[in-house]
Structure 1
Amino acid sequence: MCSEFEASPFGQAEWDAAVERLGGSVYMTWDWLRTWWAFYGRGCTLRLFWFEKDGEVVGLLPLYIQCVGPGPLGIRVARLVGANIPPKVFDPPMHPDFVASCLAMAWGRLQQECDVLSLGPVSEAREGWRRTITAPDEMGSPSPFKAAQAEVHTLFPLLPSYEQYVGALGKNEQKNRRKYELRLLRKEYPVRLVTWTQPGPELERAFERFINLHSRQWRAEGLPGHFGAWPRGAEYNRSLVAAHSTRGRVRIMELWAGEEHIGGQYAFAHGDRWYWELPARAPDERWSRFSLGPTVLMLLIAEAIREGCKWVEGGLGHYEYKLRLGAREYPVWVLRFAKRGAGPTARRLLARMIQGALRVGYHKLWYRRIQPRLSERWKRPQWSLWLHYDY
């Protein structure tokens, strides 16, 4: 499947330089897109849009088209490469002044071969997307898309030093951080904190330890954890780590108490920010009094500050503990463009009915309520059919 990337009129160096110039995320880099495509692009059609103005690149839009639904009654949906296994705050790299015009041009091409363009999640934290969401008239009148708020995501704005960062937290949280950040642990155990960044067998082994620790944590709660929730989750992430480590983007942090691996973080570094993928901590009751979750997150923040980063991308969802530790929340949106006409409208209505049935019957009832109560042999990653309809 990667051959379609290799056949594109521009290569990795050119694409990544444009991503960096436009302030794009690590999820829009060539390695991320190509790795995702190798795992999840089967049966899909790749469309890479490159927008220029007066010889300067002003936007990139990597998309795939997939048929969703039963045969001739199905619809063809265009989505961002990477969506939605798993969902991220993608924010395709575009100059803020040209987001609307780039989207209008892309949809003008795409509606010749698909029924729906589902674009997101994108964040209000990015000026260009915020302007497009709040001022849709820039796209023309009437606006050819509808914006639906999906949820929120968190960003940690970093300060020049870790001491300044902790000093900006609330008084209670300052007290907790100074109490728990390894001081109690060091009274009872020799403590080591290691950050792995260089490609090679040591990084690979560190990532395998992270997978094991993360999975142990979630199995203790009857859940599969990230690597069990998504199709081929562990294999896919191993490939991501292998691809990005050669470019110095991978960050695997390990916290050891004596000979026991008790905490970890998995992140990527790109541009002026870290992209926090997953935490892990030992589920054993004897470690609970050390506040490992917030402690290991603050260790990640300290390391990102040490590297000179300005932000940590904290992922989707509302979490009170992240806000207590200095994060800010921003709405994220999905922009949906739909082809007009009786036929496309009828097919979309059928797709929405199937989507609703899968959301309630499969995702909410079976996957979230029933499956966690079953033995391990009955637990499976999320059904690919449901993921195709979740657009």
Structure 2
Amino acid sequence: MTDTDVRLTFKWVDGVKGLEHMTDAWAALARQTGADIYAAPVWVLTWWAHFGRGKTLRTLVAYDAQGQLVALLPFMIYPVWLGPVRIRIAKLAATDPNTVIFQLAATETALKNSCAEALNGLLDDGRAHLVSFTPASEHGTMLAAVRNGVAPGLALIDTPAGTHTVFELPDTFEGYLANLSKKRRGQYRRDLKHLQNDHGLTTRMVHPDAHQFGDFVDFHNRQWQEVGKGGHFVDWPGSAAFYCDLADATQQGQETWFVEQQGQDGPLATQFCLVKGQTCHWRLPARSTDPELERLSLGKIGLVQMIEQLIAAGVTRIEAGVGAYGYKLVYGGESVPTHRLIVSRRSGISPVLLKLCLGWARVLHLVYYRLWFGRVAPRLRAVIPLKNKSLWSSWIKTRI
């Protein structure tokens, strides 16, 4: 059966309160479809409580002919101002430039028609001037669904937007090691033995609560502050409080994971992951910057030990973040293209507003992010005691 054979009934739900009575059915649909944690209620509702201010939440809900929930697609709409000009942008709710989604909370037969309905509903009545699904992975279902859901009268921007790294995991850890080069396997075993014998390294997996997550924030911050940078929790305002609350909210479902490595003198490294079903999103590492531990490749040992724990738990795929990192590829990752995916109306003011928004985004990225944030500010901090600052919200909003 194809999605064109399925008769669907659509409904728009506005705001958070309209979703509260649907969380059980939504969570069940997410489990049934293998949706990523980013499409599950625990993530979306916790995220919205922290970052929803100034945004409008609109959720498309789809039911089949038997009245069963078959798709739930939440979107956030927010304004970007270019002087007196206001551009309304819609994106999947609770996402940011680092959020890569493989599977939405929608059945295979309902996804295309639900995306088509969402695009028309979001762009009607001036609610949004454009809808962005960036970054869209070539290994995800969203790319084809949006491409096929663009109706006449709509324009689609579909261009390369860099890469992200994906690990497709075998059934056993020995199978994973067998896929590495002989050199890498030997190096891993030698360094692991030294870390265990000389530093008392042990590895365990835990599901942290808010207090434990706060300790991880401190650990991660110390690592980056030692090299003069802020780290994730400084760069992204409000993220520490959000993840602490998420850790508590996911305790029962065990979706927040730490793979911790302890030594005889305290913590050595921690890998922070979000796991839903068979999919893991590896969010952040933190580790000691002791030169001796660096020499023994502690960071790479942490990656491989995390993979061992995930394989043992039945995880089959790791999404390891946007950007190109050579060490991830050496240890079994694959560089997967992502796309900039933006839909707007072909007529009226929308094409003009889209060009203005993309132009402003390029200027901000070049002048603010690449020049100031990436080059000038770090050099100034090397000679002047300037405090690390969070990323500008204007830059975050234009990452479409």
Taking structure 1 as the reference length, the TM-score comes to 0.90
1:32 lines up with 2:43 in the alignment: yes
Which of the residues 36, 53, 61 maps onto 2:64? 53
Aligned residues: 380
Distance 2:364 2:276 in 1: 36
Shift in Å, 1:357: 2.2
Distance 1:273 1:104 in 2: 26
1:356 lines up with 2:370 in the alignment: no
Distance 1:225 1:38 in 2: 23
User: Could you say which residue in structure 1 is the equivalent of 2:85?
Assistant: 73
Distance 1:115 1:35 in 2: 27
User: Could you say which residue in structure 1 is the equivalent of 2:55?
Assistant: 44
User: Could you say which residue in structure 2 is the equivalent of 1:257?
Assistant: 263
User: Could you say which residue in structure 2 is the equivalent of 1:304?
Assistant: 310
1:378 lines up with 2:390 in the alignment: no
Contact 1:22 1:58 in 2 (8 A): no
Distance 1:280 1:20 in 2: 30
Shift in Å, 1:53: 3.2
* Structure 1 residues not aligned, in runs of 5+: none
Which of the residues 224, 233, 237 maps onto 2:239? 233
Which of the residues 9, 23, 31 maps onto 1:12? 23
Distance 1:76 1:299 in 2: 44
Shift in Å, 1:70: 4.2
Once the two structures are superposed, the pairs formed by residues 89-238 of structure 1 within 5 Å of their partners are: 89-91=100-102, 92-112=104-124, 113-126=127-140, 128-132=141-145, 136=147, 139-140=150-151, 144-181=155-192, 183-197=193-207, 203-238=209-244
- Going from structure 1 to structure 2, the CA distance change for 1:152 and 1:108 (only over 3 Å counts) comes to same
Q: Residue deviations 1:28-87, cap 9 Å, x none?
A: 111111111112111111011122333344433210111111475211111111232x52
Taking structure 2 as the reference length, the TM-score comes to 0.88
- Going from structure 1 to structure 2, the CA distance change for 1:239 and 1:18 (only over 3 Å counts) comes to same
Contact 1:147 1:334 in 2 (8 A): yes
**Which amino acid in the other structure matches residue 58 of structure 2?**
R
Say which SS state the counterpart of residue 74 (structure 1) adopts. Answer: strand
Shift in Å, 1:221: 2.2
* Structure 2 residues not aligned, in runs of 5+: 1-13
**Which amino acid in the other structure matches residue 256 of structure 1?**
Q
**Which amino acid in the other structure matches residue 16 of structure 2?**
F
Shift in Å, 1:272: 1.1
Distance 2:363 2:38 in 1: 30
Say which SS state the counterpart of residue 272 (structure 2) adopts. Answer: strand
Contact 1:371 1:378 in 2 (8 A): no
**Which amino acid in the other structure matches residue 190 of structure 1?**
G
Q: Residue deviations 1:293-327, cap 9 Å, x none?
A: 11001111111111122222212122111111112
Contact 1:22 1:93 in 2 (8 A): yes
Shift in Å, 1:388: 1.6
Say which SS state the counterpart of residue 69 (structure 1) adopts. Answer: strand
Of the structure 1 ranges 314-323 and 5-14, higher mean CA displacement relative to structure 2 is found in 5-14
**Which amino acid in the other structure matches residue 339 of structure 2?**
W
- Going from structure 1 to structure 2, the CA distance change for 1:192 and 1:70 (only over 3 Å counts) comes to same
- Going from structure 1 to structure 2, the CA distance change for 1:137 and 1:167 (only over 3 Å counts) comes to closer
Off by >6 Å, runs of 4+ in structure 1: none
- Going from structure 1 to structure 2, the CA distance change for 1:350 and 1:143 (only over 3 Å counts) comes to closer
Shift in Å, 1:378: 3.0
Contact 2:71 2:105 in 1 (8 A): yes
Contact 1:74 1:351 in 2 (8 A): no
Of the structure 1 ranges 244-253 and 49-58, higher mean CA displacement relative to structure 2 is found in 49-58
Shift in Å, 1:88: 0.9
Say which SS state the counterpart of residue 133 (structure 2) adopts. Answer: strand
Say which SS state the counterpart of residue 295 (structure 1) adopts. Answer: helix
Shift in Å, 1:234: 1.3
**Which amino acid in the other structure matches residue 182 of structure 2?**
K
Shift in Å, 1:122: 2.4
Shift in Å, 1:140: 4.2
Of the structure 1 ranges 44-53 and 375-384, higher mean CA displacement relative to structure 2 is found in 375-384
Contact 1:22 1:95 in 2 (8 A): yes
Distance 2:281 2:82 in 1: 37
Q: Residue deviations 1:144-196, cap 9 Å, x none?
A: 42222222222212222212211121222111222222x01122132232322
- Going from structure 1 to structure 2, the CA distance change for 1:117 and 1:191 (only over 3 Å counts) comes to same
**Which amino acid in the other structure matches residue 213 of structure 1?**
F
User: Could you say which residue in structure 2 is the equivalent of 1:321?
Assistant: 327
User: Could you say which residue in structure 1 is the equivalent of 2:372?
Assistant: 366
